[in-house]
Amino acid sequence: MIAIDEEAEKKEILRHYRKLLRSSKPFLQAGDAKLIKKAFNTSNDAHKNMRRRSGEPYILHPLAVAQICVEEIGLGTTSIVSALLHDVVEDTDWEIEDINKEFGPKVALIIDGLTKIAGVFEYGSSQQAENFRKMLFTISEDLRVILIKLADRLHNMRTLQSMPRNKQLKIASETIYIYAPLAHRLGLYAIKSELEDLYLKYSNREMYDSIMNKISTTKAIRTRFINKFAKPIEDALHSSGYNFKIKGRPKSVFSIWNKMRKQDIPFEKVYDLFAIRIIVDAEPESEKAVCWQVYSIVTDFFKPNPDRLRDWISTPKANGYESLHTTVMGHSGQWVEVQIRTTRMDEIAEKGYAAHWKYKDNINKEESSLEQWIAKVRDMIEQKTSDTSDATALEFIDDFRSNLFAEEVYVFTPNGDLKILPQGASTLDFAFEIHTEIGSACIGAKVNQKLVPLNYKLKNGDQIEILTSSKQKPNKDWLGFVVTSKARSKIKDQLKTAKRDVAEDGKEILLRRMKNLKIHPTNENYHKLRQFFGLENQFDLYFKVGRGLISQNDLKRYNENKNTTNKAKRAAKISDAKTFEKEIKKVKGNERDMLLIGEDMDLVDYTLAKCCNPIPGDDVFGFVTVNEGIKVHRTACPNATELMSSHGHRVVKAKWTSQHEIAFLAGLMIQGTDRVGMISDISKVISQDLKVNMRSMSIDTDEGIFHGKIRLFVNDTLHLEKLITKIEAISGVEQVNRFD
């Protein structure tokens, strides 16, 4: 047992508390310091016997969250108090009523939004999604809930190394799935970038370390290049009398990885590693003119790429982001991104929503695009609140998330009013944006005076006139091409009304048929029926019966199959990670809490997921499905993030046992310059040199460049890497990558 130096810990806690007070001193009003002290003492006392996974006193976590709120987001006293108390109700005997009594209704409301829901959730739902939905509902009351939650998540990610691997994967996936895009949407770019980098660090450590090392080794070269590039611009700005700062803008590890992955290129070919930011002081009324003057100076020295000019000053992004971006050609033939903005714009870009309010009185009197977005979120939440019976938490999060991720498209009404919609929005999204009744009756549109269908994707600058018909009704196909949550929500509402009538009839039919087959209408039997037919809830069961998709014969088949094998019974017992650990410990002892792939087939029903085809050596996790046992996925699987973030309670730790006698299917994508004998050389390396069995091989050539896909059987990742190295050594082969 490790000895604890209580005196040293008290000093450490006090040091963090004093740092928090120093950071908040500039904006403290009379009585604020006393309130912060009271919150600190309350939290310290409530958490006094608690420790984090790392072994440190728990109070250091709320102190760190409060510090992030002040330093990195720019929040005030109410937020500091709420951050210090954010875990008190969830983890101790304190109730919301106690917070309300001691610290007032504002703090109580924020703490309530931050407190996780306890208890069991509906079948097919997710605790994380429920918690997130509850937190989002408080946007209607106080946006600080979200900002403090982001600070909480950032500190948890910074200290994730002390968590077990399956928890790391769950928390990291949840972060990239919801919290990073939310930080982006609220304009918190520094926090968004750090969350993304930390996600990569814990989901793909090898890649993270590799990029970090390459950034580190090329830093001196980049610094010299940027200094040389910036020198003439600095001189010109000085002589023009501007007060400014120029700094190199390092690309984040995650964004480099994302570019490598999306464009299928190595680190060395990520060209926009070179970037600078010019931050210039300007009076509010002359900001736009000053930024364009600076742009003119930059382009006096360097040729701009006309396709890479982005003007987010005339039309700010929906999260309030304002900046002028251009990409210019440097002296040595390297493209350099240049961002031009004022001091105010830069603070809003870094601190987002909180900084926006600081400057609100100085700038436009019109409602900002960030306020418009928050108003939309409130509308969306109010729509969902009115129909929580049908809209599951997961569905809510999916809709919300689709709007978080999207970039914007700027379009106009026939009268010239500007509307901002997510990239990929259709004319139907635009119709619902105008009014629900117009969307429901929409039959098409005129875009720039030309007739277009409902699924036409809007482009920047389009002017749209909606065409309607009183006979039109929403149909299920519409959900395939609308992207805004408002359109999706309204279409689903109208479809559900029709679906509900069918389900009511189905319920009566099912009860009659169950009575004939002597199946009692108990909750347990309904649950078994749902499992048998692979349905998520009772409503879907009634609906399928009502539509005739589940017949009397299907129910007879269910009745005959009720006596399942022992193995299936064992698999049915395992419904989440906790029950899996319980079952495996019964058989394998208390030391075992993970699935050993290759050993535990007799104990649990598991299969390798077809979406990512894991092979020995891959970093993997097990996912408890509803009725197909445990599926083993790679942590790099395209579906992994969604599974781990939305259903973290079903993620189980898994690792490979040695099984070289088994071959696993893997795919390779090959690219290079074509020549006579290329296919023969590739086949020789695979079949003769390494004795690997191929399932299929297809190669296409176009203008002297070939692209090939090969599916083959390998023993593990080492075997696969050896094969890739051999193929890469073949003359003319430029790139070899694994695909799922």
| Cα–Cα–Cα angle for 265, 271, 277, rounded to 5 degrees | 140
Cβ 669 vs Cβ 737: under 8 Å: yes
Report residue 604: phi and psi, to 5°: -130, 155
Cα–Cα dist 122/575, whole Å: 14
CA dist 160 to 151, 171, 172, 523, 619, Å? 14, 8, 9, 40, 18
| Tally of CA atoms within 13 A in the half-sphere of 15 that contains its CB | 6
Q: Give the 3-state secondary structure of residue 437.
A: helix
Cα–Cα dist 341/290, whole Å: 9
Instruction: Please count the helices (runs of H) and the strands (runs of E) in the chain.
Output: 30, 20
For the question of residue 90 being annotated catalytic, the response is yes
Report residue 146: phi and psi, to 5°: -65, -40
Mention every residue, 6+ apart, whose C-beta is less than 8 A from residue 362.
284, 344
Cα–Cα dist 176/705, whole Å: 36
Cα–Cα dist 340/153, whole Å: 31
| Cα–Cα–Cα angle for 476, 480, 484, rounded to 5 degrees | 105
Percent helix, percent strand, percent coil in the chain, to nearest 5? 55, 15, 30
Rg (CA), the chain: 29
Residue that has been written with the tokens 């006293």 in this structure: 77
Cα–Cα dist 379/28, whole Å: 34
For the question of residue 581 being annotated catalytic, the response is no
Q: Which of 9, 12, 56, 91 is catalytic?
A: 91
Residue that has been written with the tokens 């926009």 in this structure: 272
Mention every residue, 6+ apart, whose C-beta is less than 8 A from residue 349.
187, 189, 321, 322, 323, 341
Q: Which of 45, 90, 235, 367 is catalytic?
A: 90
| Tally of CA atoms within 13 A in the half-sphere of 446 that contains its CB | 8
Report residue 733: phi and psi, to 5°: -80, 125
Picking from 288, 196, 209, 298, the residue whose alpha carbon sits closest to that of residue 246 is 298
Query: Hey, what are 618's tokens?
Result: 């891959």
Ramachandran category for residue 312: left, alpha or beta (phi over 0 → left; psi -120 to 50 → alpha) = alpha
Cβ 409 vs Cβ 137: under 8 Å: no
Neighbours of 715 (CB within 10 A): 18
Q: Give the 3-state secondary structure of residue 145.
A: helix
Picking from 181, 208, 204, the residue whose alpha carbon sits closest to that of residue 193 is 181
Query: Hey, what are 239's tokens?
Result: 């002589």
List the beta bridge partners of residue 466: 445
Cβ 98 vs Cβ 131: under 8 Å: no
Cα–Cα dist 618/161, whole Å: 20
| Cα–Cα–Cα angle for 283, 286, 289, rounded to 5 degrees | 140
Residue that has been written with the tokens 């998330």 in this structure: 401
With 0-12 / 13-18 / 19 or more C-beta atoms within 10 angstroms meaning exposed / middle / buried, residue 232 is middle
State the catalytic residues.
Answer: 90-91
